[in-house]
Amino acid sequence: MMNKVVSQYLKTDNMKKLAIQGGRPIRNVKTNPWPQWPVWGKGEEKALIDVLNSGVWSYNGPKETEFNKEFAKFTGTAYSICTVNGTVTLQIALEALGIGIGDEVIIPGLTWQATAATVIDVNATPILVDVLDDTWCIDPEAIKRAITPNTKAIIPVHLYGGFADMDAIMEIAKAHNLYVIEDCAHKHGGEWKGKKAGSIGHIGSFSFQLSKHLTAGEGGAVTTDDPILAERLDALRNCGRRPESTMAQSGDKGIGDYGDDGNFIQSGNLRITEFQAAILVEGLKRLPQQNALRDANGAYLNGLIKEIPGITPLRRDPRETQKAYFNFAFRYDRDQFKDLPVSRFRSALEAELGIVVDACYEPLNNCSLYVPHTKPARHKLSEAYWDAIDPKRFSLPVCERLFADESVCLHHKVLMGSQADMDMMAAAIQKIYDNAEELLDQ
Ligand SMILES: *Cc1c(COP(=O)(O)O)cnc(C)c1O
């Protein structure tokens, strides 16, 4: 049952003792480090120096224009608009759609806090719903149950290696006249039935923060096919100014409802710099290959670990034609590991592999970084609103179970090495399985 290569790792006597108990780790990261993240090369070096010497460090510069053009092409959308990060992308997406006071936005309870925090920052109400335990993405049935006459939008998050069921979500959205903002912070280049993440809903939101699999340290972009939304988004990231760069992309003269004075909509400065855009142009060239590598390694690794009792890989929906990974994640069942708690399993895996092994995000109904009641001056619009944004009022049993008992997550860089690296990961899990009783009562 066990893969031959995996069992070889575990054959030698000095491999029997778990690393967390002083045994030899499966991977010696001093002599055999994991692939590094981020990845860069001469291209970035040259591009950064070019930007430096050009003196054009920001404001609709050539690198930003080039990246927007390439990223729109890459995502199969008509427009891409860069901004400072993947949080304000969500905020300006909501603003561009006219979502605010009195509106409800349905989001998954398992996501980075920004997905919810931005809804509150535009004075709307986040409605937290549960996820599916096989993909960790928003449950379409839960969306249906949460719809009220005030619902305006859904923000599905394509989490870790999973993809939200966009067929079901777009169908619900159509039936109820709702907007869909895809939070693609984990899904640059992922495809659903041949369509890229960020091209299926009305607006796609991307983050280029350091941990993400296309990065400039910080940064973000929104994508859309709708020229009116594109102009609003463009203005929103540029102090409300007339959206010249979007018009340059579309070649038209602008169709937005801005006035003669050139100003268009109230906003602030959310612009990206040329240095970031230069790095993104280079990074985007590598992304398809990197995604293909992570996809192949992820599929191979899932094939190995699904043979270990108590380990359940994320389900790959057959409609996912290209995987993109932010994390490599799987579920753990302590019943199969002699009742070893998942936190102990994660520590043991960390010791074997020499890399951080995390739980999934904290569910948003009990999340240390999603605490809207700490900011009454901003968020206490009324008593009713104050109650409505209380995260604790939402019940999220699947999110809670994944976080507390089952989730195991590793950074996507673990999928950027060789097949031998995947064998090692599987061997490490198998080693803990074989020795689980050694870790009890400690
Ligand atoms: C990273 C992330 C964001 C926010 O992006 P930043 O660039 O860090 O602001 C939003 N949503 C999800 C799901 C994320 O992982």
Q: What is the CATH number of the domain that holds 17?
A: 3.90.1150.10
Q: What is the number of other CB atoms lying within 10 angstroms of the CB of residue 257?
A: 10
- State the catalytic residue, choosing from 212, 323, 413, 431: 212
Q: Residue 379: inside a domain, yes or no? A: no
Determine the pLDDT at residue 227. 92
Domain membership of residue 308 (yes or no) is: yes
Residue 431 lies in a domain: yes
Would you say residue 135 lies in a domain? yes
Q: Are 244 and 319 in a shared domain?
A: no
> Is the same domain home to 272 and 130?
yes
Q: What is the pLDDT of residue 98?
A: 95
Q: Which of 236, 258, 281 is the last residue of a domain?
A: 281
- Whether residue 230 lies inside any domain: the answer is yes
Residue 378 lies in a domain: no
User: What whole-number distance in Å separates Cα of residue 17 and Cα of residue 354?
Assistant: 16
If one counts the domains in the chain, the total is: 2
pLDDT of residue 442: 59
Q: Are residues 134 and 271 in the same domain?
A: yes
pLDDT at res. 107? 98
Query: Residues of the chain whose pLDDT is less than 50?
Result: 1, 252-255
Residues 231, 348, single domain; the answer is no
The count of other CB atoms within 10 Å of the CB of residue 383 is 8
Q: Which of 82, 83, 84, 87 to mutate to test the pocket of ligand 1 (most atoms within 8 A of CB)?
A: 87
> Is 115 close to ligand 1, i.e. is its CB under 6 Å away?
yes
For residues 55 and 172, membership in a common domain is answered with: yes
Q: Can you give the pLDDT at residue 78?
A: 97
Phi-psi category of residue 198: left, alpha or beta, with phi > 0 → left and psi -120 to 50 → alpha: left
Cβ–ligand 1 distance for 205 under 6 Å, the answer no
Q: What is the pLDDT of residue 50?
A: 98
**pLDDT value for 241:** 86
Q: Check whether residue 22 and residue 158 sit in a common domain.
A: no
Distance 169 CA to ligand 1 centre (A): 21
Query: What does the pLDDT look like over 269-300, one tens digit per residue?
Result: 999 999 999 999 999 999 999 999 999 999 99
Q: Which residue range is the domain that position 313 belongs to? A: 4-38+286-361+400-439
237 and 137 fall within a common domain: yes
Of 92, 112, 121, the residue with max ligand 1 atoms within 8 A of its CB, to mutate for a pocket test, comes to 112
Single residue among 221, 255, 281 that ends a domain in this structure? 281
Whether residues 172 and 218 share a domain: the answer is: yes
Q: Looking at this protein, which amino acid is placed at residue 293?
A: L
Tell me: do 168 and 290 sit in the same domain: no
- In the prediction, which pLDDT does 11 show? 73
- 405 and 317 in a common domain: yes
CATH number of residue 196's parent domain: 3.40.640.10
Q: Is 338 a catalytic residue?
A: no
Which residue from 290, 332, 309, 297 is spatially nearest to 425, judged by alpha carbons?
297
Question: Residue 256's CB: how many other CB atoms inside 10 A?
Answer: 19
Whether 157 and 211 map to the same domain: the answer is yes
Q: Judge if the beta carbon of residue 209 lies within 6 A of ligand 1.
A: yes
Which of 262, 281, 300 is the C-terminal boundary of a domain?
Answer: 281
Q: Has residue 75 been placed in a domain? A: yes
Gap from CA of 218 to ligand 1 centroid (Å): 10
Is 392 a member of any domain?
Answer: no
The token duo for 175 is 């039936």
**Bridge-based pairing state of the strands 79-83 and 220-224:** antiparallel
Please tell me whether residues 30 and 65 are part of one structural domain: no
